[in-house]
Structure 1
Amino acid sequence: MEKSTVYFTNFRCPVGTSQIDKLKKLCIAAGIRNIDMDGKFVAIKMHFGELGNLAFLRPNYAKAVADLCKEQGGLPFLTDCNTLYPGSRKNALEHLDCANLNGFNTISTGCQILIGDGLRGTDEIEVPVVNGEYCKTAKIGRAIMDADIFISLTHFKGHESTGFGGTVKNIGMGCGSRAGKMEQHKSGKPAIDENLCRGCKRCAKECGSDAISYPNKKAVIDYDKCKGCGRCIGACSFDAVYNPNDSANELLDRKMAEYAQAVCHDRPCFHISLVQDISPNCDCHGENDAPILPDIGMFASFDPIALDQACADACLKATPIANSQLGENLAKPDWVCHHNHFKDSNPNVEWEATLDQGEKIGLGSRSYELKEI
């Protein structure tokens, strides 16, 4: 594959300039105006943040992208699909309430907000996965597939199951209906090391399936209920919850790339990723731990694989923050260093599988040229 072009700008702003100005200039330089949006529906896929989490992208960024679309005659809307776990975004009404409480509304963003898979997370369309190996079809929120143009606006951060939550995850997992999310997660399920479990019940609080109980003051997983989402792994402070299937996270990563292929194939797409507030875990948590790395900048590209690769490379070059999950792990005298910030933050992850599979099926290229704006 030929090298793709990824555009980058840092967060430095001289007096008289704002980050919103820089984001718009970045998108224009990256070619967003080359997309014919006149009279067309434009889905802007983002994450509105779980209630209690403060690491999600501010609505100001969404408005900047929506304004660019409207300047080109587009009809933009912000969108996300309902969650698999029962947090504050498990149905469209609660999801919209959550978005509003986190600052996303028609005034702050300049456009409407639609939940892609409907009221109960069942309004989906089955989409073929071109070159799919693990998923021949993908169950995607109908409103997202009804749009003429697709734009992803991503908060790039760490993730307890996939290493990082980047563009491909925002698209693949984020655009899946509830059944689609289950399909991506179902290959691997966690287990409990009873010798390490302290019965603190933190994993049960994070469980999205009510699958964990404590009959003898030790966590027990009901595998008939468990969906394999892995949130309990990230929740445990004592390494008592682990993944016994070494390929589970790799399979999740590869399926996620195939779902992203289904969303993006055969229509105009554009992708933006902001690498800031790089929390160790997903924005689906009802809290956000301290950032593991310093803020880096904004990236944009037509190629989602190149974009994620560029963001990951920038993170791997950054200096870990001492007072963070990553910094504390690296400071442990018995820590076996992976020399990889994502694995040293969450050792069970296999994040490169996402990019490998995406390139393999033609979603994009891991080779890129970085142009700084």
Structure 2
Amino acid sequence: MSSEVYFSNFRSRSQKENKISKIKRLFDRAEFGKFLEKDDLTAIKLHFGEKGNDAYLKPVLVSAVVEKTLNYHAKPFLTDTNTLYYGSRHNSVDHLQTAIKNGFAYAVTGAPVVIADGIQGDNWIRVEVGLKHFQKVKIAGDIENSDSMLVLSHFKGHGMSGFGGAIKNLAMGCASAPGKIEQHRCAQPLITDNCNVCGTCLASCPLSIISLVDGKAVIDLDACVACNNCLSICPESAIGLDFNSLTEFMERMVEYAYGAVKSKKGKVGYINFLMDITPDCDCEAFSDAPIVPDIGILASTDPVALDSASYDLVNQQVGLENSLLEHQHHRGSDKFRGVWEGVNGRVLLEYAEEVGLGFQEYELINL
């Protein structure tokens, strides 16, 4: 079985063909208006971008989705959840300040910003899923309590899941802090023999659970929440991940994604933006050079088909020089494996289909 995915490229020679017009046309063709009802509290789930990152979705593009939602007399709000790592979005006060600084003000987008899991990530609701890794998942309260949802995702690479798209936006993005810990629990950082006991990681750990023992840094894994602050801070690259654990990590993400939309009963639409396709998540406080050219915008009511189509379109491109993509530049090669060699993002898609989140097979309809 396959699902319809609508696609529009970025070519434009008139006002009728600009990105705003394309988003509105995709919204209509994907028939998001069929599930939007009058007075629906509609969560528009997106990523506001970490402080220092500039690859996140532009607020002016988000405003087009807000405008279409208002046309159906729904009540949209822009939303995300606080982060597990200690950056500029770890609590709602910092998160709101970051969102506003990055341009997500009501005057720009036409919708208020609501951080869905509360000031310190303690506003969440248990949702029963009954799957392999979780019987119940912990979804942010204001997302779970919304009537409908539109999921806007900047499609890009990710060091733990290969790529980040609609499924990851649902999984990690709709989870409370305890839910994020549950997903990360199987993929904690490991200190290798390259450790030279410089002590840099000790200062980077927000929970102060790294110590020096017998000439080596040691992490108290029982207390570790896998925020992974220590991974990027080590000057010797002596802290890494057990890539064998990443299959389970991706399966846990899928089960959370399933829980994030379970109560919506089909009242969810998805848009992926294939632009500024960087190697890393927008949670990084920087944006590396894109690995392929900008491609276009896709919309569907099936997040698995949408991510599958997005993945394939990226792989059809010729990789860009002077990027982190060190090999697999040719058309048809797996660009995300070219950046994150040990991570197979297809696992995410396969398990998502297995649990019933959607279908990998799709019909791509060009507008």
Q: Which amino acid aligns with 2:249?
A: L
Aligned to 2:316: 317
> Where does 1:283-294 land on structure 2 (aligned, <5 Å)?
283-294=282-293
Cα distance change on mapping 1:209 and 1:22 into 2, 3 Å: farther
Q: Which amino acid aligns with 1:307?
A: L
Q: How far apart, CA to CA, are the structure 2 residues paired with 1:312 and 1:245?
A: 21
Aligned to 1:255: 252
> Where does 1:288-367 land on structure 2 (aligned, <5 Å)?
288-327=287-326, 339-367=333-361
Aligned to 2:77: 77
Q: How far apart, CA to CA, are the structure 2 residues paired with 1:216 and 1:13?
A: 62
Aligned length: 362
Aligned to 2:64: 64
Query: Are 1:227 and 2:225 an aligned pair?
Result: yes
Cα distance change on mapping 1:100 and 1:216 into 2, 3 Å: farther
Q: Is the 8 A contact 2:93 2:119 kept in 1?
A: yes
* Percent of paired sites with the same residue: 38
1:72-112 superposed Cα distances (whole Å, 9 cap, x missing partner): 11100000011111111111111100100100011111011
Q: How far apart, CA to CA, are the structure 1 residues paired with 2:204 and 2:287?
A: 13
Q: How far apart, CA to CA, are the structure 2 residues paired with 1:13 and 1:346?
A: 33
Cα RMSD after superposing both structures: 2.5
CA shift, 1:45, in A, is 0.4
Q: Is the 8 A contact 2:156 2:277 kept in 1?
A: yes
Aligned to 2:172: 173
Identify unmatched segments of 5+ residues in structure 1. Answer: 332-337
Q: Which amino acid aligns with 2:291?
A: I
Aligned to 1:42: 42
Q: How far apart, CA to CA, are the structure 2 residues paired with 1:192 and 1:62?
A: 41
CA shift, 1:224, in A, is 4.0
Cα distance change on mapping 1:197 and 1:77 into 2, 3 Å: farther
| TM-score, reference length from structure 2 | 0.91
Q: Is the 8 A contact 2:194 2:236 kept in 1?
A: no
* 2:366 counterpart (339, 361, 372): 372
Q: Is the 8 A contact 1:189 1:245 kept in 2?
A: no
Q: How far apart, CA to CA, are the structure 2 residues paired with 1:142 and 1:183?
A: 17
- 3-state secondary structure, aligned to 1:6: strand
- 3-state secondary structure, aligned to 1:325: coil
Cα distance change on mapping 1:94 and 1:339 into 2, 3 Å: same
Q: How far apart, CA to CA, are the structure 1 residues paired with 2:204 and 2:311?
A: 27
CA shift, 1:244, in A, is 2.9
Identify unmatched segments of 5+ residues in structure 2. Answer: none
CA shift, 1:326, in A, is 1.1
CA shift, 1:183, in A, is 0.5
Cα distance change on mapping 1:237 and 1:63 into 2, 3 Å: farther
Query: Are 1:264 and 2:258 an aligned pair?
Result: no
Q: Which amino acid aligns with 1:109?
A: T
- 3-state secondary structure, aligned to 1:261: helix
Cα distance change on mapping 1:5 and 1:153 into 2, 3 Å: same
1:35-77 superposed Cα distances (whole Å, 9 cap, x missing partner): 2321111001000000000010011121111110100111000
Aligned to 2:280: 281
- 3-state secondary structure, aligned to 1:326: coil
CA shift, 1:240, in A, is 3.3
Q: Is the 8 A contact 1:160 1:231 kept in 2?
A: no
CA shift, 1:260, in A, is 1.0
